[in-house]
């Protein structure tokens, strides 16, 4: 079993406990595969509906993207509302907006109800790295205010964003105070504790190697098996070859984050005056925020291979210094990477593989809020009311050209092309 990656989050994890691995064969109503936000949320919502739930995690709870990400609790979907309206129709776009609002609320409610200590704060500032992007963000804010009655977002001009971020790099943007940021690993660990308290049996170091297509189905690990009436597949970017029927619809990509040494309140405030999270407009996004102990947590850079860059501190620091060259003297205490799953159209991919096998994946870098919603919708569907799950299941999700085996070359070329445009 692999331990948590050496991250700021793992170093500041609260009450991480050892859940033990599966050693005996079990019977349950629902077996959840994957102990990230999606699996944990599904397990918790199912247990609250009186299902008998077993959750199997290959490594540690929150070991995947859920314990490593930028912590940005974003509004809406990865695609903006105007795009969704144009491609899916106004009615579906509105349903997706309302569900995404519910997603943020689920996270807030879980944190409050279970007393999860995960440094939740308000605000995401979207920063335009060129005039067109700044204009786009301003228009997107106006669009939400006018057409969705969402008054928690407002445009921010060049002068104001410069004052907020201590840099003249950006041309304007928008501030969404209905969005927020949190310590993702502590949120995941808190969900796990809540799930256990609700009756879920959680196991770590218990990789599922396969399951049959019967009803009930039997899932195998190296040492034991679980027989379940329903399966929830929640492996996202770490799915690998477990389920070839959905693997070709997602592309695993790697993204990287660093944590500086603590900067002290005064210096930290010069970087991010109002303690909001920041996400810029480049294709390979720079995203950053302050930790509770006043470090800069900076995400930047991606790659599309199975290997992470060898010197991650150096790799991400380059991105950070482009925004804040004044941090050249600052120590980098941690740098780490994680793998997320993107879909071709950057819409999440939900569905059923058999009448009793549900999955949700491909949150495309926008999963902190939507995964908690995914778990709730899966629980509704397993309990027999699938209308809301099916709003997502009906979204188009084309396979990557080349399928599971050959999807890499085309995507990598495309990604490099857009990443190159960022630099031009
Ligand atoms: C560096 C980085 C930064 C990001 N920043 C943000 C952000 O700021 N905001 C945002 O909204 N989103 C962000 N994301 C995306 C977000 O983290 C994901 O959308 C979300 O965490 C997905 O959760 P999940 O539970 O579906 O998958 P994961 O958290 O990846 O969990 C999947 C789990 O399944 C387990 N697993 C896989 N195969 C098996 C098996 N066979 N048997 C048992 N277990 C198995 C894995 O070990 C893993 O723990 C980021 C992602 C990364 C990597």
Using one digit for the tens of pLDDT, what is the confidence trace for 255-314? 999 999 999 999 999 999 999 999 999 988 999 999 999 999 999 999 988 789 999 999
Closest by CA position to 308, among listed 365, 364, 254, 250: 254
User: What mean pLDDT value characterizes the chain?
Assistant: 95
Distance from residue 372's CA to the centre of ligand 1 (Å):
12
Pairing of strands 53-56, 26-33: parallel
Closest ligand 1 atom to Cα of 206: 43
Q: What percent of the chain has pLDDT over 90?
A: 91
Distance from residue 368's CA to the centre of ligand 1 (Å):
9
pLDDT tens, residue by residue, 313-364: 999 999 999 999 999 999 999 999 999 999 999 999 999 999 999 999 999 9
Question: What is the token pair recorded at 134?
Answer: 């700044």
Distance from residue 236's CA to the centre of ligand 1 (Å):
6
Closest residue to atom 10 of ligand 1, CA basis: 366
Cβ 37 under 6 angstroms from ligand 1: yes
On whether the CB atoms of residues 177 and 161 are closer than 8 A, the answer is: no
112 class by beta-carbon count within 10 Å (0-12 exposed, 13-18 middle, 19+ buried): exposed
Pairing of strands 277-280, 121-127: parallel
Residue 34 has pLDDT above 70, yes or no: yes
Domains and CATH numbers, the chain: 8-68+185-249+345-414 (3.50.50.60)
Question: Considering the entire predicted model, what is its pTM?
Answer: 0.96
pLDDT of 419 reads 63
Cβ 225 under 6 angstroms from ligand 1: no
365 class by beta-carbon count within 10 Å (0-12 exposed, 13-18 middle, 19+ buried): buried
Angle between helical axes of 90-113 and 37-48 (0-180°, round to 10): 80
Residue 233 has pLDDT above 90, yes or no: yes
Average pLDDT over residues 370-387: 98
Q: What are the residues whose beta carbons fall under 8 Å from the beta carbon of 183, sequence distance 6 or more?
A: 9, 12, 71, 118, 119, 291, 292
Cβ 205 under 6 angstroms from ligand 1: no
Closest ligand 1 atom to Cα of 366: 11
Closest ligand 1 atom to Cα of 254: 53
Cβ 348 under 6 angstroms from ligand 1: no
Cβ 34 under 6 angstroms from ligand 1: yes
325 class by beta-carbon count within 10 Å (0-12 exposed, 13-18 middle, 19+ buried): exposed
User: What's the length of the chain?
Assistant: 424
pLDDT tens, residue by residue, 142-186: 999 999 999 999 999 999 999 999 999 999 999 999 999 999 999
Closest residue to atom 14 of ligand 1, CA basis: 365
Rounded Cα distance, 82 and 140, in Å: 8
Closest ligand 1 atom to Cα of 340: 53
Higher-confidence position of 87 and 417 = 87
pLDDT of 309 reads 93
Residue 404 has pLDDT above 70, yes or no: no
Of the pLDDT bands very low, low, confident and very high (cuts 50, 70, 90), residue 417 is low
3-class DSSP state of 104: helix
pLDDT tens, residue by residue, 220-229: 999 999 999 9
Distance from residue 135's CA to the centre of ligand 1 (Å):
32
Distance from residue 361's CA to the centre of ligand 1 (Å):
9
Residue 219 has pLDDT above 70, yes or no: yes
Sign of CA dihedral 240, 242, 244, 250: negative
């Amino acid at each position: 079993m692999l331990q948590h990656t050496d991250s700021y989050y793992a170093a500041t994890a609260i009450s991480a406990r050892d859940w033990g691995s599966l050693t005996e064969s079990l019977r349950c109503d629902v077996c959840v595969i994957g102990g990230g936000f999606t699996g944990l949320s599904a397990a918790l919502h199912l247990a609250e509906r009186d299902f008998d739930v077993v959750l199997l995690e290959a490594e540690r709870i929150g070991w995947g993207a859920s314990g490593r990400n930028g912590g940005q609790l974003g509004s809406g979907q990865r695609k903006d509302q105007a795009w969704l309206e144009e491609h899916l129709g106004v009615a579906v776009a509105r349903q997706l907006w309302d569900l995404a609002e519910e997603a943020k609320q689920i996270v807030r409610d879980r944190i409050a109800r279970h007393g999860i200590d995960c440094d939740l704060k308000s605000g995401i500032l979207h920063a335009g790295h060129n005039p067109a992007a700044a204009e786009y963000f301003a228009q997107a804010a106006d669009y939400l205010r006018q057409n969705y009655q969402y008054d928690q977002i407002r445009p921010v001009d060049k002068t104001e964003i410069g004052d907020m971020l201590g840099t003249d790099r950006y041309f304007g943007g928008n501030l969404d105070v209905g969005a927020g940021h949190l310590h993702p690993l502590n949120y995941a660990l808190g969900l796990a504790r809540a799930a256990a308290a609700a009756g879920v049996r959680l196991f770590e170091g218990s990789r599922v190697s396969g399951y049959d297509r019967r009803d009930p189905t039997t899932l195998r690990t190296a040492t034991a098996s679980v027989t379940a009436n329903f399966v929830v597949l929640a492996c996202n970017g770490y799915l690998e070859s477990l389920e070839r029927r959905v693997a070709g619809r997602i592309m695993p990509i790697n993204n990287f984050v660093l944590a500086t040494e603590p900067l002290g309140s005064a210096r930290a405030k010069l970087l991010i005056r109002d303690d909001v999270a920041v996400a810029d407009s480049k294709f390979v996004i720079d995203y950053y925020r302050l930790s509770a102990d006043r470090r800069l947590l900076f995400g930047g850079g991606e790659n599309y291979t199975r290997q992470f860059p060898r010197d991650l501190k150096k790799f991400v620091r380059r991105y950070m210094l482009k925004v804040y060259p004044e941090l050249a003297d600052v120590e980098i205490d941690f740098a780490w990477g994680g793998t997320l799953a993107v879909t071709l159209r950057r819409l999440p991919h939900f569905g059923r593989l058999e009448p009793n096998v549900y999955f949700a994946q491909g949150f495309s870098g926008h999963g902190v809020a939507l995964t908690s919603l995914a778990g709730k919708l899966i629980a509704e569907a397993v309990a027999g009311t699938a209308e809301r799950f099916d709003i997502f299941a009906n979204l188009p999700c084309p396979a990557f050209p080349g399928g599971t085996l050959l999807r890499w070359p085309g995507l990598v070329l495309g990604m490099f092309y857009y990443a190159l445009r960022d630099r031009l």
